[in-house]
Amino acid sequence: MTTDPSLSTFLSQARELLGDRAVLTDAEGFAPYANDWRQKFFGKPAAVVFASSTEQVAQLVRLANTHEVALVPQGGNTGLSGGATPDDTGRQVILNLSRMTRIRARDQDNKTITVDAGVTMQTVQEEADKMGLTFPLNLTARGTATIGGNLSTNAGGTAVLRYGNARALCLGVEVVTADGQIWDGLRGLRKDNTGYDLRDLFVGAEGTLGIITGAVMALHPKPAGVMTALACLPDPVPAKAAAQAVALLQIAQQHCNASLTGFEFMTPSSMNPVSDYYPQFARPAGLGTPEQSCVLLEVSHAESEQAATALLERVLEVAMEQDLVVDALVAQSMQQAQAFWDLREHITMAAAEDGLQVKFDIALPISSIAEFCRITEDKLRQAYPGIRLSNFGHLGDGNLHFNVAAPAELFEGLDRQGRHDACRQYVKANEDCIRRIIHDEVVARQGSISAEHGLGILRRDEAAHYKSSVEMDLMRRIKQALDPKNILNPNKVLRTNP
């Protein structure tokens, strides 16, 4: 129990407001909320409070203002940058919105759905399906990640190439401001030029400017045919395979245009742990050699499955003629298509089983990817002999997860715990220098150090290192204007406490 009188008063008033069962102060119950999904960041919250309505969120924020208690907004706690993890002072309170699960409205003709912030991505996908439409935002954590979290991180995923990221799919938001007012911006409009775009200020703000309590999300017509293929690239050198993947992308875009809905690159070192830890989702036996990288292509067609198949087969034929693809499988059933996606989607889970990595989420102009991979990989291998470079990602968006794992020799013969400890120590000792090598190469090519996961705490100081003083100053002034008491997610995105 806290000895801080203002925090104690806040907590007892929160209990009156929400009921005892919505205010968790027993540290034993904190585990699912206090640490991040990767177990990289470990927080010590004073409490976890669960709001069930916008009005409750607003009242809590007003209480937090009165007692100057910092709130860390949280949805499904699946974020990968530590944005939803409190600090270790024991003074911050997690405000979890996963109990806000109402579907507020469905509009068939406008192709929109209005939901509470705590509704999961998967539920929105299922609701869209019932309406005969599709909600195309998609990522592996869909069953737990919430719309509020998706919007606050401006999440990407595997369909950005065709449908855009969370921001592009959001037409309106409802927000509780840092002083506890409710802004109803739930407009289902595709055009609205009435002044500053406040919606876009809160999207991607990682809970530092306001708390998103509801959203209007855009839905799309369902394509009549969706076809998936796994293509194997010839060059066994991963950086050269990346160049071949870029060339394959050009062919796929030329033939398919907007029908190309997925283009995911996977090097062997990203796929191998899937075979080790999730053998049921391993790369199909006999597809190329284990040294070759793969691309997962998805083509969607408004008219028919045959039309989608024809496009996909034409792309693969042209790519094979140009020696950019050596082998390919076009899924013959929904189950086989799902198996291709299972391989892709289990990369992150398998990596987590394998041990902590230095994680990256970079964006580059597509024209720079081949050169970036060649130069950066050389530099890393020279500086860190034996590292395992687990490069994979949304190459069609110019977004790679260029992750670095510890050399295998460091943990040979150790059990699971020993391996995890060795990986953690390796990351701790080397992450700053590894980041500098990779991010310098990214920034030199006008890339971004966070394409879709956000800054949180993980990349906060990296962003400050690379951004101009003008940009940093504008960001600070926005934070100061919207959250002058620094109540909302302090020290995330920007350093706001000394």
Q: Catalog residues that contact ligand FAD under the rule CB under 6 A.
A: 37, 72-80, 83-84, 97, 117, 139-141, 145-146, 148-150, 152-153, 155-157, 206-207, 211-212, 348-349, 452-453, 456, 489, 492
212 contact choice in ligand MLT, ligand FAD, none (CB below 5 to 8 Å, kind-dependent): ligand FAD
| Least distance in angstroms from the C-beta of 303 to ligand MLT | 30
| Least distance in angstroms from the C-beta of 412 to ligand MLT | 25
393 contact choice in ligand MLT, ligand FAD, none (CB below 5 to 8 Å, kind-dependent): ligand MLT
Task: Count how many Cα atoms sit within 13 Å of the Cα of residue 289 in the half-sphere of its side chain.
Answer: 7
User: For residues 260 and 330, which CB has a smaller minimum distance to ligand FAD in the complex?
Assistant: 260
What residues form DSSP beta bridges with 393?
Answer: 265, 400
| Least distance in angstroms from the C-beta of 36 to ligand MLT | 13
| Least distance in angstroms from the C-beta of 353 to ligand FAD | 12
- Tally Cβ neighbours within 10 Å of residue 38: 18
327 contact choice in ligand MLT, ligand FAD, none (CB below 5 to 8 Å, kind-dependent): none
Output the six-digit token pair for 84. 């939803």
User: For residues 204 and 225, which CB has a smaller minimum distance to ligand FAD in the complex?
Assistant: 204
Length of the chain: 498
DSSP letter for 398, please: T
37 contact choice in ligand FAD, ligand MLT, none (CB below 5 to 8 Å, kind-dependent): ligand FAD
Judged on CB neighbours under 10 Å (0-12, 13-18, 19+), 462 is middle
- The helix or strand, by DSSP H or E, that contains position 420, with its residue range, turns out to be helix 416-444
Q: Among residues 54, 228, 300, 348, which is the contact residue for ligand MLT, using CB under 6 A? A: 348
Gap between the Cα atoms of 66 and 60, Å rounded: 10
The residue of the chain with the least Cβ separation from ligand FAD equals 149
Cite the beta strand spans of 28-135 per DSSP E: 47-50, 71-74, 93-96, 103-107, 112-116, 133-134
> Does residue number 401 form part of the binding site for ligand MLT (CB under 6 A)?
yes
| Least distance in angstroms from the C-beta of 198 to ligand FAD | 14
Cite the beta strand spans of 92-168 per DSSP E: 93-96, 103-107, 112-116, 133-134
441 contact choice in ligand MLT, ligand FAD, none (CB below 5 to 8 Å, kind-dependent): none
- Tally Cβ neighbours within 10 Å of residue 254: 11
Gap between the Cα atoms of 488 and 457, Å rounded: 14
> Does residue number 391 form part of the binding site for ligand MLT (CB under 6 A)?
no
> Does residue number 40 form part of the binding site for ligand MLT (CB under 6 A)?
no
| Least distance in angstroms from the C-beta of 154 to ligand FAD | 8
- 488: three-class secondary structure by DSSP: strand
| Least distance in angstroms from the C-beta of 139 to ligand MLT | 6
Of 453, 414, 491, 340, nearest in space to 37 by CA: 453
Residues in touch with ligand MLT (CB under 6 A): 140, 347-348, 393, 401
